[in-house]
Amino acid sequence: MSSYIIISPVRNEENFIEETIKSVLDQTVRPVEYILVNDGSTDRTEDIINKYVKKYNWIKTIKRPPANHNPGAGVVKAFYEGFNNLSYNNWEFIVKLDGDLKFDKNYFESLLDRFKYNPKLGMASGKTFQYRRNRLVIDKMPDDHVRGAAKMYRRECWEGIGGLQKVLGWDTIDELKAQVLGWETKSFRDLVLVHFKPIGHKQKNIMKREIKAGERQHYLGYLPVFAIIRGLYRMFQKPFFVAGLLNIIGFLHAYINNKSQLEDRSLILYLRFKQKQRLTFKRKLIN
């Protein structure tokens, strides 16, 4: 089996981190190295992690001081704290994994099999699911999107895209870069990732969170018509009407004020090409 390493930036995950660590421990193919970056936790996260660090020599931890983080950039900075402290450097695959997930014991073995049989696959994961009214419900996302909560990268792809950018939208930028370079990116429905916390939970201020989402779309170079249609679609999701409206407001505010966008124009053009396909029904319109 191919060798892989896991880096997990975690912050105040006392309720879920043990589930994630146990899922890793139960894997039929374990990672060569598993680094948990304690990113300024103020709860029992550190104590829980240390319990496993003492027991397994391939599990390590790094402690970062508490700090205010910019959305997106903060988690990538924490990730690189772990990356820069790797002991094993001959890895073939690298995983960025959140600390609030649970998955089956053959999850990574199955994922590695997909990479083995598809040499063009550069980045992959399972699909994330959440508990709603005591049943698992899938998070809607296109098949070529790999959720930021759990990403496995082939080393050649990782080096080709230059790793992760410390910006909001890093988990879209890496995919666009990989696709432009000819790599396939894929999330597999049959590989279940139970995600205990909803997407965007870290920003409790709904207004700020949804406006930021709109600003992120502008930064990534969304077509205005696509951003507005997506905002209208978002109005039918909780919090109803408000979320979609704030998405549109955030996008238009950034668009009208000509706020900064991705420096790599080729990525913006590629994203807009994909969005035009959806607008002309050559691909699924909303995802």
Band (72; pLDDT cuts 50, 70, 90): confident
What integer is the mean pLDDT of 20-34?
98
What integer is the mean pLDDT of 89-115?
98
162, burial (CB in 10 Å: exposed 0-12, middle 13-18, buried 19+): exposed
Band (232; pLDDT cuts 50, 70, 90): very high
What is the reported pLDDT for 149? 95
Chain length of the chain:
287
CA 63, CA 219: separation in Å to the nearest integer? Answer: 31
What integer is the mean pLDDT of 49-66?
96
Band (287; pLDDT cuts 50, 70, 90): very low
CA 172, CA 7: separation in Å to the nearest integer? Answer: 19
Per-residue pLDDT tens over the stretch 163-213: 999 988 999 999 999 999 999 999 999 999 999 986 555 545 788 889 999
Q: Which residues pair with 124 in a beta bridge?
A: 152, 186
Band (6; pLDDT cuts 50, 70, 90): very high
Show the tokens assigned to 117: 């049989």
What is the reported pLDDT for 176? 96
CA 78, CA 70: separation in Å to the nearest integer? Answer: 12
First-to-last alpha carbon distance for the chain, in angstroms, is 34
Show the tokens assigned to 85: 């402290």
pLDDT at 238 over 80: no
pLDDT at 30 over 80: yes
Band (239; pLDDT cuts 50, 70, 90): confident
Q: CATH for 4-195?
A: 3.90.550.10
What integer is the mean pLDDT of 141-148?
92
What is the reported pLDDT for 200? 52
pLDDT at 71 over 90: no
What is the reported pLDDT for 283? 61
Please tell me the least confidently modeled range out of 63-72, 74-83, 102-111, 269-278.
Answer: 63-72
Q: Give percent of the chain above pLDDT 90.
A: 80
Band (237; pLDDT cuts 50, 70, 90): confident
pLDDT at 282 over 70: no
CA 188, CA 114: separation in Å to the nearest integer? Answer: 10
